Amino acid sequence: QQAALIDAVSKNVLFSELAQAELDVIIGAMKKLEYTKGDDIIKQGEEGDLFYVVEDGACEIFVKGVGKVMDIGGFGSVRNFFGELALLYDAPRAATVTAAGPVVAWGLDRVTFKKILQDQTQKQRSLYKTFLEQVPVLQPLSVYEKLTIADAMAPKTFPAGENIINEGDEGFEFYIVESGEVICTKNLDGKETEVSDPLGPGDYFGELSLINNESRAASVKAVKDTTCLTIDRKTFKRLLGPLEGMLREHEELYSKYVEDAKTSS
């Protein structure tokens, strides 16, 4: 049980910068909670007293008047926590979170959460928002929309030489390069061929597979040690759907690179 909790906590972006002593306090304060399919774990409008980390299973987030807006936990999701906003801002729950099936979660009380995590959470949100303001394709979005994206993002790091996505795989995430450098490659006549300029901070990739509901058209490799901010498929479609026209500009550029690569080979 302790090992499962440590594993769930270690995957949580909010805990990534905490000292071991602070992690020990959090783990010691958490209580295990189990739910069955259809259980409302939190309800929109109610007062919040717990922050949740999902160890196993998947949850769905619903907002009145909008419907389902996000998945938490489960395969393909980059986020495994919820309930922080009500505790951060002493506000009612902004959404209802329902168990999509059997769920094992861990709850952290308001006092411990605010004592240890409040500064860390707000710092991360502010940092991501500042970064997103420098990403050209996101400029049409409002401040609120950028904050929503910032809240949905999860960082992932890749050492130099590692493939971040592989040609032919199913696409689950959209990536924005936070630091480092990547290159896109494609297998042309049995040879791995570069089909993009190097992509650096503020550049993005992985959008075409999600827009077109197709497998990955190319591989993307980290040229240097790289950190990317990721958004899962459903969140991408909900938050970035209005930008599809701008995102598709990459499709034309990518096609040109492929044609040029075929010609030169």
Q: What are the structure tokens assigned to 124, written together?
A: 């991360």
CA distance 175 to 156: 9
Ligand-binding annotation for 207, yes or no, is yes
What's the number of CA atoms in the CB half-sphere (13 Å) around residue 238? 18
Which residues contact residue 43 at a Cβ distance below 8 angstroms, ignoring those fewer than 6 apart?
A: 93, 96
Ligand-binding annotation for 238, yes or no, is no
Ligand-binding annotation for 55, yes or no, is no
Ligand-binding annotation for 216, yes or no, is yes
How far is CA 67 from each of CA 62, 95, 124, 189, 233, rounded to the nearest angstrom?
5, 10, 27, 46, 17
According to DSSP, the β-strands at 226-232 and 173-179 are: antiparallel
Binding annotation: 84, 93, 207, 216
Binding annotation for 3',5'-cyclic AMP: 84, 93, 207, 216
